[in-house]
A and B are shown apart, each in its own frame.
Chain A
Amino acid sequence: MANAANNPMSEEDILIKEQGYDDHFHDHHHGDKYQSNFITTYIFSQDHKIIARQFLITGMIWAIIGGLMSLIFRLQLGFPAEDMAWLKPILGRWITLNEAGLGSIAPEFYYAMVTMHGTIIVFFVLTAGLSGTFSNLLIPLQVGARDMASPFLNMLSYWFFFLAGVVMFISLFLSTGPFSGGWTAYPPLSALPQASTGSGAGMTLWLISLVLFVVSVLLGGINYVTTVLNLRTKGMTMWRMPLTIWAFFVTAILGILSFPVLASGFFLLVFDRGLGTSFFLNEIYIGGQALDHVGGSPVLYQHLFWFLGHPEVYIIILPAMGLVSEVLSVHARKPIFGYKAMVYSILAIAFLSFIVWAHHMFMSGVNPFISNFFVVFTLIIAVPSAVKVFNWIATLYGGNVRFTAASLFAIGFVSMFISGGLTGIFLGNSAIDIQLHDTYFVVAHFHIVMGVAAFFGMFAGVYQWFPKMFGRFMNESLGRIHFWGTLVGAYAIFWPMHYLGMAGVPRRYYKFDVFESFGQFATMNKFITIAAIFVFALQILFVINFFYSIWKGKKMTTKNPWGASTLEWTTPINTGHGNWEGNIPTVHRWPYDYGKDGKDYISQIQPLSEGEKDGGDH
């Protein structure tokens, strides 16, 4: 204990020392052979906390790229007649000039941007950036483990993600452009280079990148599950785990079960593209030629894709839900309402997420009879989702809410989850989906419920655990400006899209003036684009705040700035490799003893007093 001489031992340190579990970590601690130089400490690190930061910063870089792409296609949608020649120095030949010298965004490029925006945000930002960051950071810290079960696989998980990113990044600079057939990559469009320029080399790199990404998710997921199951500290029963850990644990299981199915779909697609097989191709005449492929089915790919694709949205939203539950409870100074109901909801949502995939395919030509089952299961998900929302609201009720950037984003998350979740009830009902499928109503729905909401969960997590990651705080005022601006701005972007969808305007249109029915919303599209630029600018503010605070932020002076009861706040301010310097703390109670018996909070390491019942046992 380096600081022991200066600071008198706190009550908590004494508790850990006296009651904690001695795993003889100290005996090995001298001369950490895994972190002996700069490269092993900061680059090829096996420390889960460094890996978490690597995931976060990589995710942020991708988020900026993905966000910029959305601005490019929003410019096209909001200002289709405006001169885009000023973008030519950056985008080169993707800006085409007409005789009058007016520049416009090439349709191929528009579709490439739409596709890359989706792929990048879904996989690189909201899967790797969100679950990769916080599962890595919080699982060992909150269950009381020295590190992940396999730090080496954990390191590989990041580097496979990094490699996937490199391949995807390279594809952006191909002469034929990146893949442009939508993030779902439905064949035959994605299978046939003659169907679209982006389906050539761009699609090849897209597939390679995502297969690497699947490897990353699996390596990470196996680690998360193993760590949660095997490395919980003494006393940390499953029912004493924070909801964050429940969420990461279930998310990892979802990933392990569903990503391999996606990979199998990708492999079959690779075969169709390169080896002349016909898994997804049948009776195609294209480019003046009838192809030899017969007997396959494009719908099969959709089944394989959505078997991942649907759990994927929960892979994105569950970690955010976990983070929000934790942050809301800490800052409301109240236990999360209905802890067990929250856990059961997570489990129910996770189970149901595997049997609803075809609700993305009601209109894809599958037998209408089979849709009956998918409608029923889909709409059942509304019940556990509603329970979670009510529980979050009930957590605020009667609280002593401390407004921080983190808690504001958590509240914002609940608002977004309500708004976006409710529109899911329309879309999950196949009859209503006939009209709404593939319109802007869908775009509004999923952006609010799993885009904006997941980002809000992530922001809540970053503001909350930034001190744990960097020993400093992010600037709170900027954080609150970031929140209010983003909340208003995000609604300004996505709320109007409901009206577009209800008017029947289809998504993925380069421009709307070809159709009388869709061309009436120029003003609204302009408004949405301006709002998008505004929101993007605010995110830059966040990025500035983030990097500024790493070096210049207010220093952390106490171990537990938020007064939280979970284990990560019992570690030293500058948490080293191995997390606790002496013993591992032993857990005696559930993680949500806030405001109990008149005490502000009771840490999980506090033994139960005589006759006290653990708050989680109900």
Chain B
Amino acid sequence: MTALLTILCIALIAIIAIQIGKVTELASKIRGEEDMQEIVNRRNGNYSLVFMVVFLVACIISAGYYKNYMLGYGPHESASEHGKTLDSLFNITLFFTAIVFFLTQAALFYYAFKYRGARGRKPLYLPHDNKLEIIWTAIPAVVMTFLVVGGLDAWNDVMADIAPGEDFTEIEGTGYQFAWHLRYPGPDGKLGTRNFKLISGANPLGQDWTDEKNLDDLHPSEVVLPVNKKVRVRITARDVLHNFYLPHFRVKMDAVPGMPTYFIFTPTKTTEEYRQELSNYPEYQVPDPNDLEKMRWETFNYELACAELCGTGHYSMRRLVRIVSEEEYKAWLSQQQSYFLSSIRGTEDDPYKNELLDIEVKQRKLEFSDAIQKAIDATDAKEKLLRLNYVYFDAGAAKLTELSRYELDNLAESLNKYPNMTIEVGGHTDNTGDAAQNLTLSSERARAVKDYLVGKGIAASRLQAVGYGQNQPADTNDTEAGREKNRRTEFKILTQ
């Protein structure tokens, strides 16, 4: 309906316009062409003047109106160190161009008005004026030189890569259709190598898991950075061109498949500080349309966007960016789990399936020594019974799995530490299968553990191996979870 009305309005205007055209043509016939032209000149000369005034005033008023949304003014000062330089360059350029803009636009329309044609006016024969031309060639040349020097000085500063020995955090942003995938180095501070041929659903960045640097890398879902610390963003793309764009930080760089780029910046305001600054402006003291409970300044967030056309979802590649204090950053970082450990470990893609990573070995050792210390300190005999959590056998056999040795090595170490300690190793099974066979199996399994420990140099006399079969279940045998708990190897500290 609105559309129909609009079309009708336009048609009406067109018809009126054509009639006006006809009428004025008629008028010029009646009045004579020259008279008519003079009227037209006077009228359009006046229009020129009016347009000039309205246009220039509208420029100033609209700029004032939108001041608090724009770069470098009001609350939207840059939130990064280099951004302040860019903002001031912008303003210097604006200063010079505004002068030229107002002078030339005013002269253009004013001259059109002032020298509107009139019968009898003798136009000036002025083909050129060398002095004038030299002046107005020289002035822009000088101003341009000034702007170029300032611009290039800033540019080379901003774009310089990290100097050797400089302290910085490196993160990585990878664009794909249609999102950003973020990667942080883990405690080692280094990002691992990638190979696009390794990319799969489980390995979105094609990280090479045989590279140890990859194992602790994090894949957080938002960009969190400490304030006042230099960041180098390594920018890559997986499929087509993207552009890593952080508007509040004046950061923008294409993400190119096969060619990593970078951008270095230092955030200077935390999200909270930026919100506080916004709160001083009336534009932000209104309820947020998406969350009426809060003011707009309260819901403000930094954002990461894409600024290079990458397909139909180009407009939707948003990630949240939070700038926090150093302490908050550390706290956040410690909560993040390595992508490898959370999503790859133990799956088909895990190249370390049959070995433990150093970090896991360390962790289990700690766990074991804590447990055994507790058992030694305990007085209650029940608490001197410990389960060997990571000792497993091949199904239906008494052959220790490869990974069991780590736990048994921990046990051997403790036995060496306490030379007077003697233990009983007990084998248990669940109730599936024949009870007599289970008993034999559990004895053989206990024996296998004993043999392993003896192989590690522990005197056989300190070790007793006992098979309990299915007679001492630790949990119900009715559920799989319960049965799993019942299939176990334990040891009891006899003397210490």
Chain A residues at the B interface, C-beta cutoff of 8 Å: 86, 107-108, 111, 180-182, 186, 188-189, 192, 195-197, 281-286, 288, 290, 294, 296-299, 332-341, 363-365, 368-369, 371-372, 375-376, 379-380, 382-383, 386-387, 389-394, 396-403, 408, 411, 414-415, 418-419, 422-423, 425-426, 429-432, 434-435, 437-439, 475-478, 480-481, 484, 487-488, 491, 495-496, 499, 502-504, 506, 508-512, 514-518, 520-521, 533, 537, 540-541, 544-545, 548, 554, 592, 594-598, 615-616, 618
Contacts and interface: CB of A to CB of B under 8 A. Distances in A.
Task: Give the one of A365, A371, A509, A511 with max B CB within 10 A.
Answer: A365
A400 B121 CA distance: 6
A387 B137 contact: yes
Contacts of A365: 253-254, 256, 259, 261
A508 B13 CA distance: 32
Contacts of B122: 400, 595, 598
Contact of A282 (B10, B14, B20, B258): B258
Contacts of B63: 499
Given A284-B196, A503-B71, 16 more contacts: A197-B312, A283-B196, A285-B238, A297-B259, A340-B128, A396-B108, A431-B154, A475-B21, A476-B40, A477-B23, A503-B70, A508-B309, A514-B316, A515-B318, A516-B299, A595-B122
Contacts of B251: 434
B241 A298 contact: yes
B310 A189 contact: yes
Given A495-B59, A512-B315, A514-B315, A488 B155 contact: no
Contacts of B309: 111, 181-182, 186, 189, 508
Interface stretch (B110-118, B223-231, B443-451): B110-118
Contacts of B105: 415, 418-419
B151 A284 contact: no
Given A341-B133, A411-B48, A514-B315, A537 B41 contact: no
B207 to A, nearest CB: 13
Given A299-B256, A375-B151, A503 B69 contact: yes
Interface string B45-86: 101100100010011001100100111100010000001011
Main secondary structure of the interface of B (DSSP, over half): helix
Contacts of A432: 86, 89-90, 93, 151
Contacts of B220: none
Contacts of B154: 431
B124 interface: yes
A499 B305 CA distance: 19
Nearest to A518: B305
Contacts of B85: 431
A509 B314 contact: yes
A388 to B, nearest CB: 11
Contacts of B117: 333, 400-403
A92 B200 CA distance: 37
B127 A517 contact: no
Nearest to A496: B62
A195 B128 contact: no
Contacts of A615: 127
Task: Give the one of B71, B122, B158, B257 with max A CB within 10 A.
Answer: B257
A482 to B, nearest CB: 9
B123 A399 contact: yes
A284 B93 contact: no
A335 B137 contact: no
Nearest to A381: B144
Contact of B25 (A282, A477, A481, A516): A477
A273 to B, nearest CB: 14
Contacts of A340: 128
B252 A434 contact: yes
A400 B137 contact: no
14 contacts: A180-B312, A284-B240, A284-B258, A365-B261, A375-B151, A432-B151, A434-B250, A435-B252, A488-B51, A495-B62, A503-B71, A509-B315, A537-B13, A595-B124
A393 B111 contact: yes
Given A188-B241, A508-B309, A516-B301, A595 B93 contact: no
Question: For chain B, which range describes its interface: under 10, 10 to 19, 20 to 34, or 35 or more residues?
Answer: 35 or more
B239 interface: yes
A338 B127 CA distance: 6
B151 A431 contact: yes
Contact of A537 (B10, B201, B305): B10
Interface of B: 3, 6, 10, 13-14, 17-18, 20-25, 37, 40-41, 43-45, 47-48, 51, 55, 58-59, 62-63, 66, 69-72, 76, 83, 85-86, 89-90, 93-94, 96-97, 100-101, 104-105, 107-109, 111-112, 115-118, 121-129, 132-133, 136-137, 140-141, 144, 147-148, 151-152, 154-156, 158-160, 176-177, 196-197, 199, 201, 206, 238-241, 243, 245, 247-248, 250-254, 256-259, 261, 299-301, 303, 305-316, 318
A248 B17 CA distance: 34
B314 A399 contact: no
Contacts of A419: 101, 105
Nearest to B159: A368
Nearest to A108: B312
Contact of B158 (A431, A495, A598): A431
A390 B141 CA distance: 14
A594 B133 contact: no
Contacts of A192: 239-240
Contacts of B124: 334, 397-399, 595
Nearest to B204: A285
A332 B312 contact: no
B48 to A, nearest CB: 7
Contact of B108 (A290, A294, A393, A478): A393
Nearest to A435: B250
Contacts of B197: 290
A415 B105 CA distance: 6
Contacts of A386: 100, 136-137, 140
Given A111-B309, A477-B21, A418 B318 contact: no
A296 B259 CA distance: 10
Contact of A435 (B51, B69, B86): B86
A422 B199 CA distance: 46
B90 A394 contact: no
A426 B90 contact: yes
Contacts of A402: 37, 41, 117
Task: Give the one of B40, B240, B313 with max A CB within 10 A.
Answer: B240
Given A389-B104, A516-B303, A400 B90 contact: no
Contacts of A391: 133
B126 A429 contact: no
A107 B18 CA distance: 38
B147 A379 contact: yes
A488 B54 CA distance: 10
A587 to B, nearest CB: 17
Contacts of B151: 375, 379, 429-432
Nearest to B200: A288
A496 B63 CA distance: 9
A415 B108 contact: yes
Contacts of A598: 122
Given A195-B177, A415-B105, A337 B66 contact: no
Across the A-B interface, give the 3 residue pairs with the lowest CB-CB distance, nearest first.
Answer: A282-B258, A398-B124, A504-B247
A618 B127 contact: yes
A280 B109 CA distance: 49
B86 A403 contact: no
B211 to A, nearest CB: 17
Nearest to B120: A400
Nearest to A504: B247
Contacts of B140: 382-383, 386-387
A337 B121 contact: no
Contacts of A429: 89, 93, 147-148, 151, 155
